[in-house]
Chains A and B, each alone.
Chain A
Amino acid sequence: MLKVNKHVTRVVAGAVSAGVLMPSCIPAGNYDDLLYIQDQQKRDLGQLAIPMQINLNSSQAAYIGFIQKLSEDIIKYPVIAKQFYNNPKSFMERYGYKGDINMDDDLLKLIIALGDDDINRAVKLGDAGLFIDLCSEKGLLNNRTELYASLRNQFDKQLSDLGLDLPPAEELQAGVALVLIITVLVVVAIVFTVTATETSMNVSGDGEQYAKNNMKQYITENNPVLYMWFMKQKGNDSFLLVDEYTERQVDGLILEIKGRNPKYFEKNSEMDFRNMLKLNAIMTK
């Protein structure tokens, strides 16, 4: 059973990616100190692994400029986004560039969203909930069954100890978006792992913005369509999506637990559980 430590406000675990906040990390093997020193003395200008020129001959030097302009227009004008995803090849040809763009699924979904009138309206209204609903309804959120399965397997024991025998993806209750419970699943497992070994920690305060940035990074990486919100909503309002998303993840998981294990919240406080998840979800990356 999960015992929420009341003195613990948040738990941060694992690979928190924080750039210069924590510069002391990360080797992959066993390096020779001498090589390090030698390399310091060798190069005045860094070596390029894949020089841009490999992909751009001189006549295509303007190509990067074109892509950049295209991005700006796609973000700014939904009609351009629409034209582009409807037929990228002919769109490119109009600008004198031949060849196919092999857009991957994530990119395609993002551009579709940028060209969608309803989704654009939700963004304009600043309605993060409607934005998520529409992305979901239109099939633009990633239903990452592989990720869910991997996490479910990885944290199987912890979840089972919690009484949270989450079902295989295909058996999830209708209406519970898989994408919305993945993060929380990780949080539950990590929190449990951490509390089980009593390594909880108190985290507070100044890290709020940092935490929200982490969550922003997490949700956009796993659902690049959500970048759209941040492209168009600048400033603090952009984090409404983070709040809304977190809230929904927690609701989604609690709903699932109630469906699978109705007695769980007879023994455990739903409010404590909810608060713990919310506090930790935004901190976990």
Chain B
Amino acid sequence: MENNITISPTTISFITTNKCSAACKNCCYGCSPQKKDRLSLGEMKDYIDQALDVYSTIKLLVLTGGECFTLGKDLNSIIKYGGERGLKVRVVTNAYWATTFEKAYSRLKGLVEVGLSELNISTGDDHQEWVPYDNIVCAIMSSLEQNIATAVNVETNSISEFNSKKLKEDYRLSEYFEKYKDKLIIIENVWMPFKVSTNNKLKDSLSNNTKEIPTCLKNRCVNLFSTITINPFNKMIACCGLTAEYTSYLNLGNAKKYSIKQLYEHQFDDFMKIWLYTEGPKKILDFIHEKSNTEYFDTSNWHLCQICAEIFQKEQNIEILQKYSSEIFTNVMLKYTLIRES
């Protein structure tokens, strides 16, 4: 469809590989050492070129996985290429390579020299079954000492045992917290369980949970329309949430068959995505209940992506939305085009 309602992306992100040094039981992509799918260096360079040719708004390259450090020298090469193309470059890692401070410093030094801007480290209960906590400490110290912006993302939910307290109280890090205030951020991010056993435990705990922020404060899905994300199968996906990988509606298509521009802009032909971006899944789920005369159920402790998945999992929901969307079409489109300007 010819229109000018697109929102230009600011980030290009590669889920470079589903190979990982770990095999976390709740990994949303099911990554493990046995998996071998990956983007080649040539493919990643091509996608960067295509994206930058069309969208000058892109300023950041994110390299994640799986474990992007398993790419070896290709990781250095793609960081270098991104830097040369004027992008800031972030890598997301579990820090398995940071077995000692010296090794961590040396590995990072090679990346910093070719243009690495930011290190994101993922850790938490599941990750630490595979990657020792001390690796996280070594990675943080070696990154900060090279003046790299460092984010530690602690997987957490109400039944997590590990939390950021340990990091905060670690005597090895106290000086770094003080000295590198402007470079370090630690975030507790919701980590939803993927396996039945963990999921059931969490469900039990949710009834007494007060820590999660209520869904009523989480409205729009702003993960949409900000990033070009390409997975190891050369498929572009609409967002970074797990929902995207298991919902065909959020799979934007094959980047080997269509251009980056075609795939990215095709999603704006989907009113559903514009609706999600503008009003969020909660309102859409409420709309489905209203139109189908089905009973509302409590989603107050649900993550935004859970609500989204709930919508997409049932084909009859999509049918209802298709049938009744004309009722709110103009309202949503007008709101979308207005807030797009903010």
CB atoms of B249 and A45 under 8 A apart: no
Instruction: Knowing A51-B269, A201-B164, say if A25 contacts B242 (CB, 8 Å).
Output: yes
Question: For this complex, into which size category does the number of interface residues on chain A fall?
Answer: 35 or more
1/0 per position for B322-342, CB-CB distance to A under 8 A?
100111111101110111111
Mark out the residues of chain B between 148 and 162 whose CB falls within 8 Å of any chain A CB in the assembled complex.
149, 151, 153-155
Instruction: Knowing A30-B196, A205-B180, A227-B342, say if A199 contacts B165 (CB, 8 Å).
Output: yes
Q: Which residue of B lies closest to A14 (CB)?
A: B213
Instruction: Knowing A71-B334, A186-B213, say if A45 contacts B270 (CB, 8 Å).
Output: no
Which residues of chain B have C-beta atoms less than 8 A from A74's C-beta? Answer: 338
Which residues of chain B have C-beta atoms less than 8 A from A21's C-beta? Answer: 120, 151, 153, 187
CB atoms of B258 and A44 under 8 A apart: yes
CB atoms of A27 and B242 under 8 A apart: yes
CB atoms of B11 and A14 under 8 A apart: no
Which residues of chain A have C-beta atoms less than 8 A from B183's C-beta? Answer: 204-206
CB atoms of B196 and A43 under 8 A apart: no
Q: Which residue of B lies closest to A24 (CB)?
A: B122
Q: Does A176 contact B (CB under 8 A)?
A: no
Q: Does B114 contact A (CB under 8 A)?
A: no
Which residues of chain A have C-beta atoms less than 8 A from B249's C-beta? Answer: 46-49
Which of A62-70, A119-127, A165-173, A242-250 lines the interface with chain B? A62-70
CA distance A210 to B337 in the complex (A): 24
Which residues of chain A have C-beta atoms less than 8 A from B195's C-beta? Answer: 30
Q: Does A231 contact B (CB under 8 A)?
A: yes
Which residues of chain B have C-beta atoms less than 8 A from A268's C-beta? Answer: none
Mark out the residues of chain A between 1 and 53 whose CB falls within 8 Å of any chain B CB in the assembled complex.
7-9, 12-31, 33, 35-36, 39-53
Which residues of chain A have C-beta atoms less than 8 A from B313's C-beta? Answer: 28-29
Which residues of chain B have C-beta atoms less than 8 A from A7's C-beta? Answer: 168
Which residues of chain B have C-beta atoms less than 8 A from A107's C-beta? Answer: 331, 334-335, 338
CB atoms of B322 and A54 under 8 A apart: yes
Q: Does B128 contact A (CB under 8 A)?
A: no
CA distance A221 to B338 in the complex (A): 13
Which of B42-50, B72-80, B131-139, B224-232 lines the interface with chain A? B224-232
Instruction: Knowing A18-B189, A25-B191, A186-B213, say if A49 contacts B270 (CB, 8 Å).
Output: yes
Q: Does A273 contact B (CB under 8 A)?
A: no
Q: Does B15 contact A (CB under 8 A)?
A: yes
CA distance A24 to B27 in the complex (A): 7
Within the complex, what minimum Cβ distance (angstroms) separates A198 from chain B? 6
Instruction: Knowing A44-B257, A46-B267, A107-B334, say if A26 contacts B196 (CB, 8 Å).
Output: no
CB atoms of B30 and A54 under 8 A apart: no
Which residues of chain B have C-beta atoms less than 8 A from A254's C-beta? Answer: none
Q: Does B188 contact A (CB under 8 A)?
A: yes
Which residues of chain A have C-beta atoms less than 8 A from B339's C-beta? Answer: 220, 224, 227
CB atoms of A20 and B13 under 8 A apart: yes
CB atoms of A44 and B213 under 8 A apart: no
CA distance A217 to B172 in the complex (A): 36
Which residues of chain A have C-beta atoms less than 8 A from B30's C-beta? Answer: 33, 36
Which residues of chain A have C-beta atoms less than 8 A from B109's C-beta? Answer: none
CB atoms of B248 and A39 under 8 A apart: yes
CA distance A102 to B223 in the complex (A): 27
Q: Which residue of B lies closest to A238 (CB)?
A: B342
Q: Does B100 contact A (CB under 8 A)?
A: no
Q: Which of A16, A46, A61, A68 contacts B251 (CB 8 A)?
A: A46
CB atoms of B248 and A189 under 8 A apart: no
Q: Which residue of B lies closest to A70 (CB)?
A: B334
Q: Does B212 contact A (CB under 8 A)?
A: yes
Which residues of chain A have C-beta atoms less than 8 A from B334's C-beta? Answer: 67, 70-71, 101, 103, 107
Q: 9 interchain pairs (CB within 8 A)?
A: A23-B13, A23-B240, A24-B155, A45-B258, A67-B334, A107-B331, A199-B163, A202-B168, A222-B219
Q: Does B51 contact A (CB under 8 A)?
A: no
Q: Does A155 contact B (CB under 8 A)?
A: yes
Q: Which residue of A lies closest to B118 (CB)?
A: A206
Q: Does B309 contact A (CB under 8 A)?
A: yes
Q: Which of B151, B267, B271, B312 contacts A54 (CB 8 A)?
A: B271
